[in-house]
Amino acid sequence: MALRDVLSLCGRVGLIVAAFTFVAGIVAGPVLEKLLFSRLTVTERSTQPAVPPADTPSERRTAKPG
């Protein structure tokens, strides 16, 4: 093969790879944006429970009047 033919082949292969990369970027862009920049909420674990247990000794004393 002549040098001209090799350069022509490399140019065609390069254009095909560039076209596939461009299309893959258009398709994968929204998908990656949802995966990478999704809103994740992280909550801290508190030392005291938000709702006290229903069956505590103090509630039993106050619930029964006598």
Residue 12, pLDDT score: 97
Q: What is the pTM of this model?
A: 0.47
Domain ranges of the chain: 7-38
Residue 22 confidence class, pLDDT cut points 50, 70, 90: very high
pLDDT in tens, 35-66: 877 676 667 776 766 676 666 565 555 555 65
Runs of H (alpha helix) within the chain: 3-36, 57-63
Nearest-angstrom CA–CA distance, 19 and 62: 76
Supply angle C-alpha 3, 8, 14, rounded to 5: 125
The residue with greater pLDDT, 32 or 10, is 10
| pLDDT for the residue numbered 32 | 83
Instruction: Give the single-character DSSP code of 51.
Output: S
- In single-letter form, the type of residue at position 21 comes to T
